[in-house]
Chains A and B, each alone.
Chain A
Amino acid sequence: MAAAGASGKTYSFKAVLLGEGCVGKTSLVLRYCENKFNDKHITTLQASFLNKKLNITGKRVNLAIWDTAGQERFHALGPIYYRDSNGAILVYDVTDEDSFQKVKNWVKELRKMLGNDICLCIVGNKIDLEKERHVSVEEAESYAESVGAKHYYTSAKLNKGIEELFLDLCKRMMETAQAEERMKGNGASQSTSNRRGVQIVDDEPQAAPAGGCCSSG
């Protein structure tokens, strides 16, 4: 997926948005891509798949953000969504203890299935509702550190922390991709294992490497 060769080429990343329904995943993405919140004039038809072109330190990055259905009944479909993704944004609502618990479950699952190839971001959304906070700062940050994820605070309503979140994620994914390239450069044969598409069998823990060479977006 993370296709990029020499420095002149475009990196193409896929990031999935995970989290319970109503934590504000959609608002987060809409704010990032359209800079709008609860606006009647949003021109986008949908906020489930968004593509953003970035230029980070002179390198072109194509970031595809995949929203996932957060309802509990769709939890089992997770692997189909996050297969081959380079990054995962795990969103919880700071006023909702349960949603943080869900994030913990996702982290466990992602690490089990994809190992350390995936960059994890844990995002506490809705910090504009500071008064009703139910997830403590220390707890969330220490947890994120313990699983090798980065923690962010955002507010889609006030447009806080969102730009930073995505920019940081892209930088980290670039680092991972570059590290992988170097690995490959050291004699490893060009991997072809990664060009398989999405398959319906979702119970095989196929740890696909996050780097590839096939798709230069």
Chain B
Amino acid sequence: MSQRRGIHVDQSDLLCKKGCGYYGNTAWHGLCSKCWREEYQQVRQKQIQDDWALAEKLQREEEAAYASTQGTQSQSQAAASQTHPAPPSLGPFSKFEEKKTNEKTRKVTTVKKFFSSSSSRTPKKETQEGRTISPSINRHTSLEMDQVSKDFTEFLKNLHKPGREILKQCRVFIMNVSSKKELKADELSECVQDFYQNMADRLTGHFKGSSESVEQVMDQVEKYIMSRMYKVAFCPETTDDERKDLAIQKRIRELHWVTIQMLCVPIEEEIPEVSDKVVNAITDIIEMDSKKVPQDKLGCIKRCCKHIFSAIRSTKNEPASADDFLPALIYIVLKANPPRLQSNIQYITRFCNPSRLMTGEEAYYFTNLCCAVAFIEKLDAQSLNLSPEEFERYMSGQASPRFHSAEGEQHRAEAGATNPVLEQLNHNLEQLTGLIARQERLVEAAQSMQADLLSWPECVQREVDNILEEYPLEILPRTVAAIDAHDVDSDRLPHPLTPQVCAQ
């Protein structure tokens, strides 16, 4: 040991093990920097190749498995329909289970989000945690993925030969994209959009311009690709989507005081039918986050908007115009505070099939949602017809429009008329105070009764004592007479029978 520590260290120990003449380093397994890099590069290259081979192998296996399961499935289904009627019902049920668990996991993540937003300083860490939550989530997603691939292959079967071609194209594309890990979000979007474009062009050629069939196939292609790429493509770390999500979430939370009147929304929530629709709309817009495919997300937006329209229709009894609709949508977004709103919008913008995103109803609703978000971001005193001071006070939480109006008597009536929940609340409070008073009275009465009861035996006791004092008990001596003693009582008795002799 001392020898080694001394100056007399063997030169060869320090030199690179490859013998290139440079000094080596223990951190690089005794190699010099140059040799280490070469060595390391080789190992890494080999690793990558191995991974590739493995991935390809898995892919082949998967394909084979699908082919076989489909074959056996159709057989077994035919058999099942003859013998047991039960198995078909298993399908939807298991699907339902899956949905349920999905929902559960989603809830977990949204709850996480909810908490993380308060500690918004560590968004990075949170996502990493999210990645490694539990293997069960992975299992579920793969289950879901299987379902998607199955549907896709099933759909493509009807197209025969071109169907197989499409499937191959999609697989190759996904492989290509997933091998390029370092792609930025915009580049990835560019890739996907180019792919859509090429695919659509080829399909247009194939279907000879029947745009409806092209659309149909493109929808399926999008579904397949995006459900596979969701993890990489949704809210990627290379963008600041997450920061924006938190910003808008915070902003909406700060704006909790905005009332339906300030936005001039033509919705009257006292009508139960209308408030139901408002709740439905909120549910739909929140549900958007749970969908994986851009067009499914658009579907949620569409459903939300339809509910808003019918709410307006029920209130005003005339078709909703954009003048009514946009404020209503803003109100719904403010009320719902949909999770990961910006990420979702960005995701749809980047990866939705352009023909869906630029034409048709969905496009209009999506544009309106973008408008609502832009409005919420830029909202100021003027846009709510408030004075800057008022706006400032509400924003800082020093005053609340609802609380304020509840102070004055005539204001209270107003607030009651405008907000049925508040009215109900006030009513309940009044009832509760009444109940408390009655309860108190009851307790008092009970206590006095208890006191009465306690004092009653004493009373009785006293009475008894008094009486006893007044009429003390005197026990007179009693004379016990002997049975045969001659006393008064026996006089009344008849004389004892005396034996008589009867004549015979």
Contact = CB atoms under 8 A, between A and B. Distances in A.
Interface of A: 1, 3, 5-6, 8-10, 12, 14, 17, 21, 25-26, 30, 40, 42, 44-49, 51, 62, 64, 66-71, 73-74, 76-77, 80-81, 84, 192, 195-200, 202, 214-217
B173 interface: no
B375 interface: yes
Interface in B442-466: none
Contacts, number: 142
Contact of B374 (A10, A64, A67, A80): A80
Main secondary structure of the interface of B (DSSP, over half): helix
Contacts of A14: 358-359
B481 interface: no
Contacts of A12: 359
B197 A192 contact: yes
Contacts of A5: 209
B204 interface: yes
Contacts of A6: 209
Nearest to B326: A69
A34 to B, nearest CB: 9
A40 B318 CA distance: 7
A198 B214 CA distance: 22
Main secondary structure of the interface of A (DSSP, over half): loop
B373 interface: yes
Contact of B367 (A17, A76, A81): A81
Contacts of B352: 197
B26 to A, nearest CB: 53
Contacts of A42: 318-319
A198 B367 contact: yes
Nearest to A36: B319
Nearest to B204: A216
B354 A217 contact: no
Contact of B358 (A46, A67, A84): A84
Contacts of B371: 69, 74, 77, 80-81
Contacts of A70: 322-323
Contacts of A76: 374, 378
Contact of A195 (B312, B354, B374, B375): B354
Contacts of B373: 200
Given A48-B364, A66-B322, 9 more contacts: A1-B359, A6-B209, A17-B322, A26-B321, A51-B360, A192-B194, A198-B357, A215-B354, A216-B211
